[in-house]
Amino acid sequence: MAAGRFLRNRLALAFLGVFVLIVLFVLAAPLWAEHVAETGPNETHTLEKLAIDGEQRDVVTPEGRPIGPVWFDAGGKFFLGADSRLGRDEMVRLMYGGRTSLLIGIASAAITTALAVLLALLAGYYRGWVDALIARTLDVIWSLPALLLGIALGVSLAVGGLKLGPIELSGGSLWVPVLIITVVSIPYVARPLRGEVLALTRKEFIEAAVAQGAGPLRVMLREILPNLSSTIIVFFTLTIANNLLLEAGLSFLGAGVQPPNSSWGTMISVGEELLKTAPLLAIVPGAMIALTVLALNIVGDGLRDALNPRAKIRLEAHAGRVEPEGAAV
Amino acid sequence: MSEPLLSVRDLRVGFATENGLVRAVESVDFDLAPGEVLAIVGESGSGKSVTAQTILGLTRSANARIEGTVRFRGEELSSMPEEKLRLIRCGEIAMIFQDPMTSLNPVYRVGAQIAEAIRAHDGEIGKAGARRRALELLDSVGIAEAERRADDYPHEFSGGMRQRAMIAMALALEPSVLIADEPTTALDVTVQAQILRLLGGLNRERGLATILITHDLGVVAEVADRVLVMYAGRVVEQGTLDELFYDPQHPYTWGLLGSLPRIDRPRPRRLPQIAGAPPSPLAPPAGCPFRARCPHEFGRCVELPGLEARLADAPAHLDRCWLEPEQKRARRQVEEGRIGLEVPAP
Amino acid sequence: MARFVVRRLAGMVAVLFAVSVVVFFVFNVIPNSDPAERMAGKNATAALVENIEEDWSFDEPLPQQYLAMMGKVFTGELTSYEPEIPVNERIAEGIPATLSLAIGAAAIWMFFGILLGYLSAQRPHGWLDKLLGGISVAGISIPVFLLGPVLIYLLAEQLGLFPNGQYVGITEDPLDWAYHLVLPWLTVATLSIGFYSRVLRSNMLDAMDEDYVRTARAKGLSERQVLRRHVLRNSLIPIVTLFGLDFGATVAGTAIITESIFDLQGVGFYAAEAVGNLELPPIMGITLYGAFFVVLFNALVDVAYAYLDPRVRLGSEAR
């Protein structure tokens, strides 16, 4: 029924399509790189020339100006122009950078949501000192402004990487930003989820299940979790959007994705220097982020509406009763 | 017989939802005479609250479909524009609701909320005057230390006090009609008695016509003059208190009476219930709405009975049941001296 | 009430302590490389690393290190190594710019956020609501690092309507001060306007279903009176909470990106610089400074909430 409602929401459906297109776009990166642009995201072409309409044009002028958008004039090479003095293909970088950004965004959102659900279940079910510990820890993380914490972690890990038992990550690994963003965004999901679980565990059906002899795992998985599912789905979607913004912000400042990797965020910081002469270099990646985030926000809203209709009249299916002002006896 | 204060004719209320039209009130007719207490009885979903709220136009919304007439002192309320209708709200017809905790705004002091009602209608009275009047009102409904209490917040009042405060607010402008929607349902039994006594007193001393909505026949017996029984959005029986309790004509009423626990009788093994559930307001059945649950239904019931007086000596006692009056008298006696809905054992 | 405030402040101190420990761990204890090397940053020399080791007591046990770090923070001896500038001073220098940005943007976003939210809730699902809803969603989706450069490119470079950066102190020239801040204010405010208008709209729509709103109508109040005195008043309470936290975060320097883009020499800008040079001491200092403000505003918001919602205030005395 909820699926039906969502499908009727044309706006959400349209933007879901947009998101899918964006994903396809970035997945097509290797194809474009190999067959159309014939170059990789990190290959420089500073001293080369491009054949357009019979003319030979500098990819990067002697003064350091990169070529602007060429569109299809050179068969797709340098479709969006070159990205800087380094003369890399902006379009290829856009696609590969998008892969990085989406990868980090989705992976961190998945881990965040999973961890948040776990923490919320533990806190809400066991209450007492377990809840106090979890709640206080979340509070502390949350007290550190997200971006600052992210930067702190980012800089710290960028220089030295991470060695935790068997896990060893170099400073340039993509898991580093994933980890950082996960940690930073956990409180945003865990706190509201914890609230919901606390409210749910007060309800009688939990007492009933426990009285029937259900152990903690059963109660958490069979009773609580299904009631959280709508919230989890919505949160997951919105967290991807949020994490995309976080990653872009961190990478823009230099505390996120490290070279040689690139993401939409790093592309914006590169492009920002050339804002006067080649505004597209900063604006296009930014616009991609904005579009993706917009799509995810609208889809998330649509999901929320579909899973939780705010109808003034709610029908109780089995009894067929209606009490419009909700004051049923 | 004087002109009725309030006159409702063929009131129908439906709400358009994504699942279809929810017909909360199918058709309701009644009058309210000055100074009388009319009880409207029914279970959840019978449409009694919607009826009451529609009188004051509180159900108006984008998806509401309201038809029929509601005349107050000759003026038509159902089509009255909001700016005029708001003067009648609280000014002439006042309403109190079921849950006094949620019915009061938690961030304003109680006295201030009463004063707000006063000043909404009386532009001249000013802050001090309104406050004085609010204190008087709190006092008149039995709240001790009104001066101090007026500055409390709703959550600092007990349940009974909150309801008294709501009543005080309703009386602020000396209305001629009070609609009380399940005023005691959310209260303890002992407090219930106090509030009913208060309402009864107001009716007697001030001649305040009252519409009392409830599902509790015990409450009805305490204060009502006349009773309306509603089922599935329609009135199924209507009469004086005595007529209804001593000569009930509709099987649903028998069911209601029969399910009352009685202190003056031996305890039954199981408390009698009315089997089944009310029909869905999305798809009301044809014919008598009670048919599916009525052990006495017969062929004619496929046709909706009209709300008519079927007793020669009680022209104001109306009901919607095709059974002959003698059949009714016989069938409602499920055992010696007890009225109910069960088919008596052979 | 006083007891509540005191308790809240005590809680604040406890959280700040926990925060400082976390910062300590992030910077000194993350198991990877030598903390002294990390601290020395990009251009480390052996001598510098040794100096740092001694200075920060890295060869001592952890609690000692923690005390060393906190000691530096409180005595103002926290310095960045390249160039050598005392962190506290630099933060203090940056505060006026950051505050100017925060206060101005906050005024704009609260005013428009509440206005748009109110207008949307007045006639839900109407054309105005849908339009404003669309604007809001767009607003919260446009990241600062897109909006900023776009505004600069369009309004500053192309049309020359506004300067493209730099901060001018308010004491120097109030008009110029404001002139330079218009674009940054808009950049920061846009996201929040979208957010607050949606939250207020949602709260108001929920409030309109409440019983006390029905009572207000039954009392004979006009629709406008009902909306303003009952729906809006109650809906604003959570908004105040959110605002306090948001404002705290902005003052804390999360407007880092905006300050970088617009070249406003505030605390956030300082942070961005430090990140660029991979300098740890300034980031440490700014993080603590930032956390302090967030926690402070958290506590302030709790106190304000108690003032606005009597149920919270009189918690234990309620029946």
Q: Chains that contact A by 3+ CB pairs under 8 Å?
A: B, C
User: Is a pLDDT exceeding 90 seen at residue B219?
Assistant: no
Residue from the list C144, C276, C287 with its beta carbon closest to the beta carbon of A152: C287
Residue from the list B18, B45, B215 with its beta carbon closest to the beta carbon of A322: B45
- In sequence order, the 6+-apart residues with CB closer than 8 A to the CB of B216 are B184, B185
User: Is a pLDDT exceeding 50 seen at residue A320?
Assistant: no
What is the maximum alpha-carbon separation in chain B?
72
**What average pLDDT does this structure show over B271-286?**
85
Q: Mean pLDDT, chain B, as a whole number? A: 90
Q: Do B45 and A313 lie within an 8 Å CB cutoff?
A: no
Which pLDDT does position B22 carry in this prediction?
A: 92
Residue from the list B83, B90, B102 with its beta carbon closest to the beta carbon of C211: B102
Are B144 and B157 a contacting pair, CB within 8 Å?
no
DSSP state of C57: T
Concatenate the DSSP letters of all residues of B246-263 into one string.
HS--SHHHHHHHHTS--T
What share of chain B in percent tops pLDDT 90?
Answer: 62
Residue from the list A313, A319, A329 with its beta carbon closest to the beta carbon of B17: A313
User: Is a pLDDT exceeding 50 seen at residue A316?
Assistant: no
> B327: distance to nearest CA of chain A, Å?
31
Are C184 and C105 a contacting pair, CB within 8 Å?
yes
| CA proximity to B192, closest of B214, B225, B170 | B214
Give the confidence band of A165 by pLDDT, cuts at 50, 70, 90.
Answer: low
Q: Do C275 and A145 lie within an 8 Å CB cutoff?
A: no
C307 touches chain B (CB under 8 A): no
Chain C residues near residue B156 by CB distance under 8 angstroms: 314, 317-319
Residue from the list C210, C220, C311 with its beta carbon closest to the beta carbon of B117: C220
User: Is a pLDDT exceeding 60 seen at residue A310?
Assistant: no
Structure-token pair, residue C231: 């729906």
| CA proximity to B47, closest of B234, B289, B285, B305 | B234
Q: Do C220 and B87 lie within an 8 Å CB cutoff?
A: yes
Chain C residues near residue B158 by CB distance under 8 angstroms: 319
Which of residues B117 and B267 earns the better pLDDT score?
B117
> A204: distance to nearest CA of chain B, Å?
20
Q: Residue A57: CA atoms inside 13 Å, Cβ hemisphere, count? A: 19
| CA proximity to B103, closest of C230, C222, A146 | C230
Task: Give tens-digit pLDDT for B21-52.
Answer: 999 999 999 999 999 999 999 988 899 999 99
Torsion of CA C32, C37, C38, C43, to 10 degrees: -140
Give the confidence band of B344 by pLDDT, cuts at 50, 70, 90.
Answer: low
Chain C residues near residue A276 by CB distance under 8 angstroms: 157
Length of chain C: 319
The model carries a pTM of: 0.82
User: Is a pLDDT exceeding 50 seen at residue A25?
Assistant: yes
Over the range A208-245, which residues count as b (16 or more CB within 10 Å of their CB) and which as e? ebbeeebeeeebbeebbeeebeebbbbbbbbbbbbbbb
* Euclidean distance between CA atoms C35 and A257, whole angstroms: 22
Scanning every residue of chain A, which has its alpha carbon at the shortest distance from the alpha carbon of B16? A313
* Euclidean distance between CA atoms B344 and C81, whole angstroms: 98
Q: Do B182 and A328 lie within an 8 Å CB cutoff?
A: no
Chain A residues near residue C144 by CB distance under 8 angstroms: 249
Chain C residues near residue A249 by CB distance under 8 angstroms: 143-145, 256-257
**Helix residue spans in C33-77 (DSSP H):** 35-40, 46-55, 62-75
- How many Å separate Cα B339 from the centre of its chain? 23
Q: Do C218 and B86 lie within an 8 Å CB cutoff?
A: no
Residue with tokens 């170099």: A170
Which pLDDT does position B174 carry in this prediction?
A: 92
Residue window 21-50, chain B: list those with CB within 8 Å of chain A. 22, 24, 43-45, 49-50
Which pLDDT does position A312 carry in this prediction?
A: 29
Task: Give tens-digit pLDDT for C261-304.
Answer: 888 888 888 888 887 777 777 887 888 888 888 888 888 888 88
| CA proximity to B2, closest of B63, B71, B73, B58 | B73
Helices and strands: H and E segment counts in chain A = 12, 4
Length of chain B: 346
Q: Do B277 and A325 lie within an 8 Å CB cutoff?
A: no
Task: Give tens-digit pLDDT for B83-136.
Answer: 999 999 999 999 999 988 899 999 999 999 999 999 999 888 889 999 999 999
Are B316 and B247 a contacting pair, CB within 8 Å?
no
Instruction: Answer whether the bond into residue A260 is a cis peptide, omega within 30°.
Output: yes
Task: Give tens-digit pLDDT for A173-211.
Answer: 788 889 899 999 999 899 888 888 888 888 778 788 888
* Euclidean distance between CA atoms C159 and C151, whole angstroms: 10
Count A/C contacts: CB-CB distance under 8 Å: 160
ipTM of the complex: 0.87
- The three-class DSSP label of residue B197 is helix
**What average pLDDT does this structure show over A50-69?**
77
Are C205 and C218 a contacting pair, CB within 8 Å?
no
When scoring B55, B105, B155 by the number of chain C Cβ atoms within 10 A, the one with the most, hence best to mutate, is B105
**What average pLDDT does this structure show over B188-203?**
90
> Going along chain B, which residue ranges are E strands?
6-17, 20-32, 37-41, 64-72, 75-76, 93-96, 177-181, 209-214, 226-231, 234-240, 308-309, 318-319, 333-335, 338-339
> B45: distance to nearest CA of chain C, Å?
18
Scanning every residue of chain A, which has its alpha carbon at the shortest distance from the alpha carbon of C248? A145
- The three-class DSSP label of residue B32 is strand
Q: Do A153 and C26 lie within an 8 Å CB cutoff?
A: yes
Lowest mean pLDDT among A233-237, A310-314, B257-261, C30-34: A310-314
* Euclidean distance between CA atoms C266 and A169, whole angstroms: 34
Residue from the list B103, B107, B157 with its beta carbon closest to the beta carbon of C215: B103
Q: Do B15 and A312 lie within an 8 Å CB cutoff?
A: yes
What is the number of other CB atoms lying within 10 angstroms of the CB of residue C11?
16
When scoring B107, B110, B119, B181 by the number of chain C Cβ atoms within 10 A, the one with the most, hence best to mutate, is B107
* Euclidean distance between CA atoms A103 and C8, whole angstroms: 41
* Euclidean distance between CA atoms A196 and A221, whole angstroms: 15
* Euclidean distance between CA atoms A28 and A226, whole angstroms: 36
**What average pLDDT does this structure show over B260-265?**
80
Residue from the list A164, A276, A289 with its beta carbon closest to the beta carbon of C146: A289
> B135: distance to nearest CA of chain C, Å?
17
- In sequence order, the 6+-apart residues with CB closer than 8 A to the CB of A9 are A302, A305, A306
Residue C173 falls in which region: left (phi positive, over 0), alpha (psi -120 to 50) or beta? beta
Residue window 268-327, chain A: list those with CB within 8 Å of chain B. 309, 311-313, 315, 319-325, 327
Residue with tokens 């994490």: A243
Q: Do C19 and A140 lie within an 8 Å CB cutoff?
A: yes
Which pLDDT does position A324 carry in this prediction?
A: 27
Residue window 188-217, chain C: list those with CB within 8 Å of chain B. 210-212, 214-217
- Residues (pLDDT < 50) of chain C are 316-319
Are B306 and B288 a contacting pair, CB within 8 Å?
no
Q: Do A328 and B44 lie within an 8 Å CB cutoff?
A: yes
Q: Do C319 and B157 lie within an 8 Å CB cutoff?
A: yes
* Euclidean distance between CA atoms B33 and A157, whole angstroms: 82
What is the number of other CB atoms lying within 10 angstroms of the CB of residue A105?
29
Scanning every residue of chain C, which has its alpha carbon at the shortest distance from the alpha carbon of B166? C215
User: What DSSP element (H or E) covers B29?
Assistant: strand B20-32
| CA proximity to B6, closest of B82, B97, B73, B99 | B73
